[in-house]
A and B are shown apart, each in its own frame.
Chain A
């Protein structure tokens, strides 16, 4: 999306320049001095280009995001690289925050700059909305244009990791002590099988993997611990949904740390999804995709 360039705080420079030129012209025109008029023409040319030149520069400017991460966390800066054909001030809009100068600072410098954008909340983004601005060449007037730049890869913004839900107490088989840890490695190893989605990484059998050339996991005689199905129901209020997602991520992270097999049930734009989450990043992506689902029916 490209919008027309518009001046920012134009009243001061335009009115000031107009007043200067008006008075100048009056003096030149009534004073009869050709040099004053010629000088006024030069001043006019400079002011005119200084005020309106940035709009041309901005219209002709080429900006693109050359690199962006796939994952990031809300509230944590995402490191993206922006290439610009000219020096620009960029100001992130929408769910992102951040302001920086991009573009070449000299004729021989690479025109790619690192920019830290701060996503305010979770979500998935294929593009970023930026206000690009310039006052080139004379710094007399800033002009701004809003652009939406596609990202090289989809950016998953995971929610912040909130306080985890309290897990149910469980007694240890051997010691009998109660704790909120999760027992996952039940039974004796029986063999190895190819990895399936949802398998814990603790079950990965590295030797077999190296031997088979694909990821293999241990198979136990008895079925391993029942996976914990974690259902996330996001309310329609975006702020509340953000809080819920944060707590969900915190809880899932805690479960994964304890080695539990977690099935995460969320509602995405395509419908309800229940699938295992092997690590925090996967969980973050799932929660980034999740949408409000107060009345969702899970399969």
Chain B
């Protein structure tokens, strides 16, 4: 019975809310949330405009009927909410839908509830529900947001919500309004609390297959089945091997093709190619190569298969992969056209892709049948092994590499006696493959230099010989190839990989921003039991998953360091002075008597006779009259009513006040005597101005 009574009490209608400003704030908050959803493509423009119009209409109706809401409205609202919920359940539980398609129906459900509810918001509590529901709508929109521009909607919604709550306080307290300093403090406290939580909370992770998206973008179809595309600035144009004059590949990288010419380096742009949501940063593998010709890498011996399924595609484990990997989910949002390689972390095992087929090779390369243009989205689950150096040192022969694969991983086009001798001398003291790899990487790091600004190698020249025994300056393809050849020369299975490095992490969007110049080449070394492991001789700094707080602080630190100190300090000082002046002017307007006194003092200062601390205004006015030398007592005549007002409380009429103020102003403007003349006259009269002997 107690619970029943509590429910009854909770359902008791609240007092009618009369504040129009509160209703306006709630309406605008809801509008901002609906607009945010529409901007994310979760609502069509027509639906959004219709919903906004209906919510405005409902709010107006609620205001008109706030004293006595019609009984039928509540029934209609309840019925509408139930119908919307039923539709939502039907939409997400139909066989054609899956869990990834919940968000759009959820958006429609929330908007529907907001629309029907807006017709029955007579009290403050009901308006608070509208605010809360708009928060849910913003969450749904935020789940789709990958761009920083969504921040405009967040700021607008948060500002309007806070305005609504401030109006709520004004209404609840009988008109209490926050003064500007208190409002500023409240906002600062909100921001500080939000920032504190933001810094403390770990980065959000991709859920276990709850929200894995796949969407075809503007890529278009590719004419040749299983072919690589992405040339000529178009995601669907077939790719060609790089040429010295042909830096035409999307993003400028020449590696995403059937062969990797290590003598060439394209000019990479800075445009964002992809945004990646992932549980941990990785090298995004695009393609692997196993056959080295002395100048170029190609992939041979691994057959390409077509996989015809619906998402998720179950991918067979690539050759030499480890069964001990941990699942790692990634979602790739293609922002600008890129190659039709399906990038992924290490060994992909499942793929959510917006086509009915994909091509995959036994070496783990996955190729899309459509071009990957702007707007394309796909998700991958990879099996990632993250062994420690100790585990790699102790790696023994469980799970041997297939003979054909091992042979291709040790392939060399010709003997490299100098390379072999060099590699053996560097790794002479090492007992494990891992130590050998690390020693070679350390040697490369110590003895080579990175540069993209080098001329192409002459035709027929061996890249490794030129690099290791030439000037030892090169770019990632040459550095990684040199490592691969050195490892192969001492019998360690190695292959060349091209793809992207993770890119910078954005702590707000929780996405890695992969740019065109993040295209990279590195090597994979096979370890028994752990499969192919990435080694990047170009960047030997190990990667770590940054905490969002640390990344944000790092970004803030860099941003602060870039701020020019002097202009900012001058601007801040100017703003502070302006604020102080405004505050002083606003604190209390000077009375007419003060304005006259100020005029007199200003006139005196201009004439070189400032008012002294002990001087009464009458005395000072007499002095000023003496300054004019005309024998008039104009200042003195003004001083009499001023003193009568200040000390006697005798206030002249407003007209008289105005006249006196304007007269003082005219007198002030009339004091144009030269400073020297005035001073000399003053000194004659005032012995205190004479210097003491």
Most buried by A among B142, B158, B161, B548: B142
Asked if B138 and A45 sit within 8 Å, CB to CB, the answer is no
With a cutoff of 8 Å between Cβ atoms, the chain B residues found around residue A41 in the complex are: 194-195, 197-198, 201
Cβ of B616 within 8 Å of any chain A Cβ, yes or no, is: no
For B155, give the chain A residue with the smallest CB separation. A42
With a cutoff of 8 Å between Cβ atoms, the chain B residues found around residue A91 in the complex are: none
| 17 contacts across the A-B interface (CB closer than 8 A) | A27-B139, A29-B204, A30-B204, A30-B206, A32-B205, A33-B211, A35-B508, A36-B204, A37-B510, A42-B194, A48-B190, A50-B165, A89-B173, A105-B177, A106-B177, A138-B166, A139-B173
Min Cβ gap B459→A in Å is: 48
A53 vs B171: C-alpha distance when bound (angstroms): 18
For B146, give the chain A residue with the smallest CB separation. A35
With a cutoff of 8 Å between Cβ atoms, the chain B residues found around residue A48 in the complex are: 190, 193
Asked if A135 and B194 sit within 8 Å, CB to CB, the answer is no
Asked if B509 and A35 sit within 8 Å, CB to CB, the answer is yes
Do A46 and B205 form a contact, CB below 8 Å, given A105-B175, A137-B182? Answer: no
A37 vs B201: C-alpha distance when bound (angstroms): 9
A222 vs B663: C-alpha distance when bound (angstroms): 75
Cβ of B577 within 8 Å of any chain A Cβ, yes or no, is: no
Cβ of A261 within 8 Å of any chain B Cβ, yes or no, is: no
With a cutoff of 8 Å between Cβ atoms, the chain B residues found around residue A33 in the complex are: 142-145, 204, 211, 277, 510
Asked if A45 and B193 sit within 8 Å, CB to CB, the answer is yes
State how many residues of chain B have any CB contact under 8 Å with chain A.
62
Most buried by B among A34, A36, A87: A34
Asked if B178 and A136 sit within 8 Å, CB to CB, the answer is yes
With a cutoff of 8 Å between Cβ atoms, the chain A residues found around residue B203 in the complex are: 34
A72 vs B162: C-alpha distance when bound (angstroms): 44
Min Cβ gap B37→A in Å is: 13
Asked if A35 and B142 sit within 8 Å, CB to CB, the answer is yes
With a cutoff of 8 Å between Cβ atoms, the chain B residues found around residue A34 in the complex are: 203-204, 277, 506-511, 548
A34 vs B513: C-alpha distance when bound (angstroms): 13
Contact for A86 among B182, B189, B197, B279, CB less than 8 A: B182
Q: Return the CB mask of A15-37 against B: 1 if under 8 Å, else 0.
A: 00000100011011111111111
With a cutoff of 8 Å between Cβ atoms, the chain B residues found around residue A42 in the complex are: 154, 158, 190, 194
With a cutoff of 8 Å between Cβ atoms, the chain A residues found around residue B150 in the complex are: 35
A20 vs B192: C-alpha distance when bound (angstroms): 20
Asked if B186 and A36 sit within 8 Å, CB to CB, the answer is no
Q: Return the CB mask of A132-159 against B: 1 if under 8 Å, else 0.
A: 0011111110000000000000000000
Contact for A49 among B189, B208, B509, CB less than 8 A: B189
Within 8 A of A (CB), among B631-650: none
Within 8 A of A (CB), among B568-612: none
Cβ of A208 within 8 Å of any chain B Cβ, yes or no, is: no
For A140, give the chain B residue with the smallest CB separation. B165
Cβ of A162 within 8 Å of any chain B Cβ, yes or no, is: no
A27 vs B194: C-alpha distance when bound (angstroms): 17
Cβ of A103 within 8 Å of any chain B Cβ, yes or no, is: yes
For A43, give the chain B residue with the smallest CB separation. B135
With a cutoff of 8 Å between Cβ atoms, the chain A residues found around residue B189 in the complex are: 45, 49, 53
Within 8 A of A (CB), among B146-191: 146, 150, 154, 158, 161-162, 165-166, 168-169, 171-180, 182-183, 186, 189-191
Within 8 A of A (CB), among B194-241: 194-195, 197-198, 201-208, 210-211
Contact for A39 among B138, B190, B331, CB less than 8 A: B138
Q: Return the CB mask of A239-263 against B: 1 if under 8 Å, else 0.
A: 0000000000000000000000000
Footprint of A on B, CB under 8 Å?
124, 132, 135, 138-139, 142-146, 150, 154, 158, 161-162, 165-166, 168-169, 171-180, 182-183, 186, 189-195, 197-198, 201-208, 210-211, 277, 279, 329, 331, 506-511, 548
Cβ of A94 within 8 Å of any chain B Cβ, yes or no, is: no
Contact for A136 among B176, B197, B198, B509, CB less than 8 A: B176
Cβ of A107 within 8 Å of any chain B Cβ, yes or no, is: yes
With a cutoff of 8 Å between Cβ atoms, the chain B residues found around residue A24 in the complex are: 139
Min Cβ gap B442→A in Å is: 36
Asked if A38 and B179 sit within 8 Å, CB to CB, the answer is no
Min Cβ gap A182→B in Å is: 50
Contact for A139 among B172, B191, B548, CB less than 8 A: B172
Asked if A31 and B211 sit within 8 Å, CB to CB, the answer is yes
Do A32 and B510 form a contact, CB below 8 Å, given A135-B169, A139-B172? Answer: yes
Asked if B168 and A139 sit within 8 Å, CB to CB, the answer is yes
With a cutoff of 8 Å between Cβ atoms, the chain B residues found around residue A136 in the complex are: 169, 173, 176, 178, 182
Asked if B174 and A105 sit within 8 Å, CB to CB, the answer is yes
A41 vs B202: C-alpha distance when bound (angstroms): 12
Cβ of A44 within 8 Å of any chain B Cβ, yes or no, is: yes
In the complex, the 8 A-B pairs of residues with the closest C-beta atoms, listed nearest first: A34-B510, A87-B176, A45-B194, A30-B207, A35-B142, A45-B193, A32-B206, A138-B165
Asked if A37 and B172 sit within 8 Å, CB to CB, the answer is no
With a cutoff of 8 Å between Cβ atoms, the chain A residues found around residue B146 in the complex are: 35
Asked if B186 and A53 sit within 8 Å, CB to CB, the answer is yes
Min Cβ gap B282→A in Å is: 15
A78 vs B173: C-alpha distance when bound (angstroms): 23
Asked if B143 and A31 sit within 8 Å, CB to CB, the answer is yes
Cβ of A69 within 8 Å of any chain B Cβ, yes or no, is: no
Min Cβ gap B125→A in Å is: 11
A86 vs B178: C-alpha distance when bound (angstroms): 9
Q: Other than the known A36-B204, A44-B194, what 19 A-B pairs have Cβ atoms closer than 8 Å? A: A24-B139, A30-B208, A30-B210, A32-B205, A32-B206, A32-B277, A34-B277, A42-B154, A42-B158, A53-B189, A86-B182, A101-B174, A104-B177, A107-B179, A107-B180, A137-B165, A137-B182, A137-B186, A138-B166
Most buried by B among A33, A86, A87, A89: A33
For A24, give the chain B residue with the smallest CB separation. B139
Do A45 and B197 form a contact, CB below 8 Å, given A39-B142, A107-B180? Answer: yes
A87 vs B173: C-alpha distance when bound (angstroms): 7
Within 8 A of B (CB), among A30-74: 30-46, 48-50, 53
Min Cβ gap A87→B in Å is: 3
With a cutoff of 8 Å between Cβ atoms, the chain A residues found around residue B182 in the complex are: 86, 136-137
Within 8 A of B (CB), among A262-296: none
For A138, give the chain B residue with the smallest CB separation. B165
Min Cβ gap B191→A in Å is: 7
Asked if B172 and A46 sit within 8 Å, CB to CB, the answer is no
A140 vs B173: C-alpha distance when bound (angstroms): 12
A30 vs B202: C-alpha distance when bound (angstroms): 11
A25 vs B201: C-alpha distance when bound (angstroms): 10
A138 vs B174: C-alpha distance when bound (angstroms): 14
A24 vs B176: C-alpha distance when bound (angstroms): 32
Asked if A139 and B165 sit within 8 Å, CB to CB, the answer is yes
A35 vs B139: C-alpha distance when bound (angstroms): 8
With a cutoff of 8 Å between Cβ atoms, the chain A residues found around residue B193 in the complex are: 44-45, 48-49
Min Cβ gap A36→B in Å is: 4
Do A35 and B190 form a contact, CB below 8 Å, given A20-B132, A41-B201? Answer: no
A43 vs B165: C-alpha distance when bound (angstroms): 12
A33 vs B146: C-alpha distance when bound (angstroms): 8
Asked if A105 and B210 sit within 8 Å, CB to CB, the answer is no
Q: Return the CB mask of A93-121 against B: 1 if under 8 Å, else 0.
A: 00000000101111100000000000000
With a cutoff of 8 Å between Cβ atoms, the chain B residues found around residue A28 in the complex are: 204
A292 vs B312: C-alpha distance when bound (angstroms): 90
A4 vs B255: C-alpha distance when bound (angstroms): 69
Most buried by B among A20, A42, A49: A42
A45 vs B144: C-alpha distance when bound (angstroms): 22
With a cutoff of 8 Å between Cβ atoms, the chain B residues found around residue A107 in the complex are: 177, 179-180
For B103, give the chain A residue with the smallest CB separation. A31
Asked if B204 and A37 sit within 8 Å, CB to CB, the answer is yes
With a cutoff of 8 Å between Cβ atoms, the chain B residues found around residue A25 in the complex are: 201
With a cutoff of 8 Å between Cβ atoms, the chain A residues found around residue B329 in the complex are: 32
Contact for A45 among B124, B168, B190, B207, CB less than 8 A: B190
With a cutoff of 8 Å between Cβ atoms, the chain A residues found around residue B138 in the complex are: 39
Contact for B139 among A29, A39, A104, A140, CB less than 8 A: A39
With a cutoff of 8 Å between Cβ atoms, the chain A residues found around residue B139 in the complex are: 24, 27, 36, 39-40
For A89, give the chain B residue with the smallest CB separation. B173
